[in-house]
Structure 1
Amino acid sequence: MEDEATRTRRATAGYALALLATVVWSGNFLVVRGLSDALSPVSLAFWRWVVAIAVLAPFSWRGLREDWPALRAHGRYLALTSLLGVSVFNTAIYVAGRTVAAVDLSIIAASSPVFVILLTRVFHREPLGSGRLAGVALSLGGVIWLVTDGQPEHLLHLALGSGDLVMLGAALSFAGYTLLVRQRPAGVRLQSFALSSFVLGLVFLTPIYLWSAWDLPARIPDTPVLLAILYVGVFASVVAYLAWNAAIARIGPSRAAVVYYAIPVFSGLGGWLLLDEPISAADAVSAILIVAGIVMANRQGREMRRC
């Protein structure tokens, strides 16, 4: 058994890894906004996963070959997981990023755990206590406050194609992906699972990329665009995912998730410092409501597990 000092070091490393992933993912929202006029959403998503696969494959190829029989036996599961978590989720973020500020993107992204709670209730019949329900309601209220800029009555007049609603769809897609990841086939390594989902997600994305780029003139990206693609491919994809998986192995998903809710804070500060994006009162209120609601829901979940 581990002694107290070992457990402390393990927990400290877990929180540090979760914080690393959170900070890196926060930077992803800044890249989205910075490239909104330089690269199409589909192109950014396509080249992100090309880079991620090129970086991860040399380290994971042998494990993927050994785990392939288990992955092939769960082909439909892997296809749906890749579609939601790789193809749809990230591309939707990039689409929303053309019109939505970085801090708003991250605040709506932080609502994903609310959808996880609701979907878990629907598909796994997980009980919901009063505290969890109150947390869900509070967080959804924060999302509505953000989308309507502090005027909920505007819900009646929202355009279905608005960037905020696209980002909400991305959050829901990520929630579905999260539920599927919990059912990862036994014996499949995390790196093998990541690489196979990256590859399959890219396969789904390729026809859309080719169709969208068919009539566009070929051009060599400038240095800022190349650096941005490298960032989302190497850091926001490979580094962040591996750090997050390692954090969950050390401190568990619930504790790691608490760190994830700091994404709006880092994105808001980064957008203010690097992109001159203002932080409005509605942004601040929304972030407080969402984070408070999700923490409340998670606390209720921990209390129910202890009973």
Structure 2
Amino acid sequence: MTGDTLHAGRAQIYFKLVLTTFFWGGTFVAARFAVHEVPPLFAAACRFGIAAAVLLALVARQAQRRGETFPVPRNLREVLALSSLGLTGIFCYNAFFFSGLKLTGAANGSLIVAINPLLTAVLSAWWLRERIRPFQAAGLVVSLMGVGVIVTRGDVGAFRTLSFNHGDLLLLGAPLSWAVYSILGKRAMSTFSPLVATAYAALSGSLLLIPAAALEALGGAGPHRFSLLGWLAILQLALLGTVIGFVWWYEGVKTLGASRAALFVNLVPVFGTLLASLLLGERLGLPLLWGGTLVIAGVFGGTVRLKAG
């Protein structure tokens, strides 16, 4: 492979990773549209039911092209490993994600969830005994300060009165769920490819979301009917944010390595905030701007200096 060809290939991967983070930033806006029309768990079930069907079809096509049988878990341990991904990364994450966005803005959501990389690093240090370096710890502190500014709307007195927006607090459960999902995923990836693991995670997560959505409906959660705009939002979440986003993300990881690809995650809150301002008319108030700056600076500084070290 010539140098020009290699450069062109990497440029294409960079473009795909930037576009992936754009799709992921757009999921916050799409979710806001969706939860304005239907209950949160029903929206999540629709998203991952569609995504699971498409991902399983991609797995089947890949197996057929390679002349292999469809990959299935071989024992109870593998079933539990894949199911745990669906429980944490799909069911719990989206329960917090959609429920939080029902009560707060898309810009807030994209910035709060931006602590994903550093929260994962902290849990990895505790759970897997991985080392936390000084810049990583400093980045976590700065990010958490930013989250504090966002959830209190810049009012430090809110810590004394506990007058937080419930949606912001619910959204904090999303990065925690994703961090646990990421750690559990390290074990699953030793047996299954990322595409296969993601497909089974989406499937098991959907199987958990469907009965939860049914219970939500029995509790009188509201109408379960999308308008055309609502369906477009769900398709964005399922096809762009989940299927294409994950496939392109793993292409980036394969070509660049996980450490270099992970740096692109810091673009998600940037795109999420800008799209929320453009499409939803959410005002970029001073507390949100300051909080967002701290979150992005903390995540970027912590991860970049960690990788550089």
Separation in 1 of the partners of 2:56 and 2:79? 20
CA 1:220–1:82 in structure 2 vs 1: closer, same or farther (change >3 Å)? closer
Alpha-carbon offset, residue 179 of structure 1? 1.6
Partner of 2:288: 283
Q: Is 1:162 aligned with 2:161?
A: no
Q: Would you say how many aligned residue pairs link Structure 1 and Structure 2? A: 303
Partner of 1:262: 267
Contact 1:61 1:192 (C-alpha < 8 Å) held by counterparts: no
Separation in 2 of the partners of 1:85 and 1:212? 20
Q: Is 1:205 aligned with 2:204?
A: no
Partner of 1:139: 143
TM-score, with length taken from structure 2: 0.90
Moved more, 89-98 or 74-83: 74-83
Separation in 2 of the partners of 1:220 and 1:128? 47
CA 1:69–1:220 in structure 2 vs 1: closer, same or farther (change >3 Å)? closer
Contact 2:104 2:165 (C-alpha < 8 Å) held by counterparts: no
Separation in 2 of the partners of 1:26 and 1:245? 18
Moved more, 187-196 or 20-29: 187-196
Separation in 2 of the partners of 1:196 and 1:33? 26
Partner of 1:79: 83
SS in 1 for 2:187: coil
> Which segments of 5 or more consecutive residues in structure 1 lack a partner in the other structure?
none
Identical residues among aligned pairs (%): 25
Alpha-carbon offset, residue 159 of structure 1? 5.4
Partner of 1:175: 179
**Matches for 1:33-52 after TM superposition, within 5 Å:** 33-52=32-51
CA 1:187–1:75 in structure 2 vs 1: closer, same or farther (change >3 Å)? closer
CA 1:285–1:227 in structure 2 vs 1: closer, same or farther (change >3 Å)? same
The alignment yields a C-alpha RMSD, in angstroms, of 2.2
Separation in 1 of the partners of 2:198 and 2:246? 8
Contact 2:101 2:109 (C-alpha < 8 Å) held by counterparts: yes
> Which segments of 5 or more consecutive residues in structure 2 lack a partner in the other structure?
none
- AA of the residue aligned to 2:78: H
SS in 2 for 1:126: coil
Contact 2:39 2:223 (C-alpha < 8 Å) held by counterparts: no
- AA of the residue aligned to 1:240: G
Q: Is 1:93 aligned with 2:92?
A: no
Partner deviation per Cα, 1:47-81 (whole Å, 9 max, x = no partner): 11111122222221364954214575422222211
- AA of the residue aligned to 2:35: S
Alpha-carbon offset, residue 215 of structure 1? 6.4
Alpha-carbon offset, residue 13 of structure 1? 2.3
**Matches for 1:241-260 after TM superposition, within 5 Å:** 241-260=246-265
- AA of the residue aligned to 2:18: L
Alpha-carbon offset, residue 189 of structure 1? 2.4
